[in-house]
């Protein structure tokens, strides 16, 4: 009986392992792309386990690698067509220039009086005139072909530039996906319990925000630039990994990208490396220069833990190198709250700006 139980357990484990492993895809590039996209969809529905998360990353990395290969092939084919069009333009230019010279010479003699003077009779003069007209029509046709070839060349060069930008973006995504998988393995140490604990922490943080919306204390109106809190590390160790500001914008109680709200600013980009220019709106930034952005909104190397948002980091994580003071980015009504987050307590402030827009500030002192 004991041996039978062991056999059943091993069989279940093997079946479970097959379900969470990414299916190997074959065929042409487009068939494999479709196959891996289908893999990812199935894995997302298979339940949140460390094995399924790793399998998702593996499929995503293979998918992005194939898309890079596909884009490179498209660039190669387009480059060949551009070379052909360029050659055609050169040939048409040469032909047109040669014909233009000859047509110019004939046109000088194309004056009716000159034709009559240079011809033995009226019929000969008329024949020369008709021939000259055909030559001029041929030149017009040649010029139209040249213009079309030039337009095609410009259009294909633009397509090539767009494909090159797409390729660069795909390569950045691949680097980010590889980094995310490495971070997953590093942070979980391949331990399912550790993985589930990290997911639970993210959910606890979300629950704390939701509770703050209900139980937050109304402090009163604030103006843009007013100090509202200090950058801190509240929620550590359950819901914070270090001193930083998590800044989040919600529209209609749904998190949105803060970039369209904040003014354009150059930040030290620790997630992507180097400096980045972020923002396109009118709001002030909540902390002073110089700002270090440790995590962007959206898919990031660490956002796998936010299962409730589909793997989207719901705001900006940042610190200031000059001041811990957090200031209101726009006018509104200020609320404060302290909530349990796992075994820790997280301090949250938020501002209701009206028009169904709220901003949240997490881990404050």
Domain count, the chain: 2
CB–CB of 66/32 below 8 Å?
A: yes
CB–CB of 346/363 below 8 Å?
A: yes
Cβ partners under 8 Å of residue 156, min gap 6:
78, 81, 82, 85
pLDDT for 3 beyond 50: no
Question: What is the DSSP track for 143-163?
Answer: HHHHHHHHHHHHHHHHHHHHH
Least confident of 77-91, 131-145, 219-233: 131-145
Of residues 121 and 313, more confidently modeled: 313
285 burial class (0-12, 13-18, 19+ CB within 10 angstroms)?
A: buried
Task: Establish whether the linkage from the previous residue to 190 is cis, with ω within 30° of 0.
Answer: no
| 34 — pLDDT class (breaks 50, 70, 90) | very high
User: Are 154 and 87 found together in one domain?
Assistant: yes
Q: In a 3-state reduction of DSSP, which class is residue 130?
A: helix
Measured in degrees and rounded to the nearest 5, phi and psi for residue 77 equal -65, -40
Q: What pLDDT, on the 0 to 100 scale, is given for residue 80?
A: 77
Q: Please give the residue range of the domain that contains residue 118.
A: 14-188
User: Are 199 and 178 found together in one domain?
Assistant: no
Q: Which of 170, 188, 206 is the last residue of a domain?
A: 188
Q: What is the pLDDT of residues 90-120, one digit of tens each?
A: 665 665 566 555 555 555 544 555 545 555 5
Q: What pLDDT, on the 0 to 100 scale, is given for residue 146?
A: 65
Mean pLDDT of the region 179-202: 93
Per the prediction, the chain carries an average pLDDT of 84
The CATH number of whichever domain residue 157 belongs to comes to 1.10.287.1490
Q: What pLDDT, on the 0 to 100 scale, is given for residue 75?
A: 87
Of residues 99 and 170, more confidently modeled: 170
CA dist 315 and 361 (Å) reads 10
| 263 — pLDDT class (breaks 50, 70, 90) | very high
Name the nearest CA neighbour of 284 among 321, 229, 316, 331. 331
User: Are 301 and 353 found together in one domain?
Assistant: yes
Name the nearest CA neighbour of 184 among 18, 36, 362, 48. 48
CA dist 66 and 36 (Å) reads 10
What is residue 333's DSSP assignment? E
| 79 — pLDDT class (breaks 50, 70, 90) | confident
User: Are 159 and 19 found together in one domain?
Assistant: yes
Of residues 160 and 213, more confidently modeled: 213
pLDDT for 84 beyond 60: yes
Of residues 42 and 224, more confidently modeled: 224
User: Are 271 and 171 found together in one domain?
Assistant: no
Name the nearest CA neighbour of 198 among 296, 44, 53. 53
Of residues 106 and 166, more confidently modeled: 166
User: Are 122 and 70 found together in one domain?
Assistant: yes
What is residue 38's DSSP assignment? H
Please check whether residue 2 lies inside any domain of the structure: no
| 129 — pLDDT class (breaks 50, 70, 90) | low
CA dist 296 and 303 (Å) reads 10
CB–CB of 35/25 below 8 Å?
A: yes
CA dist 357 and 261 (Å) reads 11
Of residues 135 and 24, more confidently modeled: 24
Q: Nearest-5° angle of CA 186, CA 65, CA 43?
A: 60
Q: Which tokens belong to 329?
A: 């980015």
What is the enclosing helix (H) or strand (E) of 347? strand 344-354
Length of the chain in residues, anyone? 365
User: Are 241 and 283 found together in one domain?
Assistant: yes
User: Are 33 and 103 found together in one domain?
Assistant: yes
Least confident of 50-64, 108-122, 194-208, 307-321: 108-122
Cβ partners under 8 Å of residue 10, min gap 6:
none
Q: What pLDDT, on the 0 to 100 scale, is given for residue 72?
A: 92
Q: What pLDDT, on the 0 to 100 scale, is given for residue 101?
A: 56
User: Are 167 and 306 found together in one domain?
Assistant: no
Q: Which of 161, 188, 215 is the last residue of a domain?
A: 188
User: Are 222 and 327 found together in one domain?
Assistant: yes
Of residues 238 and 46, more confidently modeled: 238
Please check whether residue 142 lies inside any domain of the structure: yes
Cβ partners under 8 Å of residue 65, min gap 6:
174
Please check whether residue 6 lies inside any domain of the structure: no
Q: What is the pLDDT of residues 281-304, one digit of tens each?
A: 999 999 999 999 999 999 999 999
Name the nearest CA neighbour of 365 among 228, 219, 232. 232
């Amino acid at each position: 009986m004991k041996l039978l139980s062991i056999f059943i357990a091993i069989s279940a484990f093997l079946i479970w392992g097959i379900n969470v492993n990414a299916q190997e895809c074959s065929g042409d590039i487009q068939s494999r792309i479709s196959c891996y996209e289908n893999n990812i969809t199935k894995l997302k529905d298979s339940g949140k386990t460390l094995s399924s998360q790793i399998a998702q990353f593996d499929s995503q990395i293979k998918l992005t690698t194939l898309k890079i290969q596909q884009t490179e092939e498209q660039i190669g084919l387009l480059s060949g067509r551009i070379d052909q069009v360029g050659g055609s333009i050169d040939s048409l230019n040469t032909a047109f220039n040669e014909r233009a010279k000859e047509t110019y010479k004939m046109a000088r003699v194309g004056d009716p009086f000159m034709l009559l003077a240079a011809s033995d009779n009226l019929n000969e003069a008329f024949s020369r005139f008709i021939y000259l007209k055909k030559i001029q029509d041929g030149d017009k046709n040649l010029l139209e072909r040249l213009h079309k070839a030039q337009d095609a060349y410009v259009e294909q060069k633009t397509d090539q530039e767009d494909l090159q930008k797409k390729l660069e973006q795909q390569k950045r995504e691949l680097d980010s996906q590889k980094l995310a998988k490495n971070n997953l393995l590093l942070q979980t140490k391949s331990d399912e319990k550790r993985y589930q604990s990290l997911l639970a922490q993210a959910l606890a943080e979300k629950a704390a925000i939701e509770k703050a919306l209900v139980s937050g204390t109304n402090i009163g109106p604030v103006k843009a630039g007013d100090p509202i809190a200090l950058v801190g590390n509240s929620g550590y160790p359950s819901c914070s990994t270090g001193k930083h500001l998590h800044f989040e914008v919600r529209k209609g109680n749904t998190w949105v990208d803060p970039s369209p709200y904040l003014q354009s600013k150059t930040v030290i980009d620790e997630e992507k490396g180097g400096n980045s220019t972020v923002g396109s709106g009118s709001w002030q930034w909540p902390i002073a220069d110089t700002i270090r952005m440790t995590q962007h909104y959206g898919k990031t190397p660490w956002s796998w833990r936010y299962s409730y948002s589909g793997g989207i980091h719901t705001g900006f994580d940042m610190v200031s190198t000059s001041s811990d003071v957090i200031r209101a980015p726009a006018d509104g009504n200020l609320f404060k709250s302290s909530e349990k987050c796992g075994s820790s307590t997280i301090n949250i402030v938020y501002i209701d700006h009206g028009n169904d827009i709220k901003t949240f500030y997490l881990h404050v002192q």
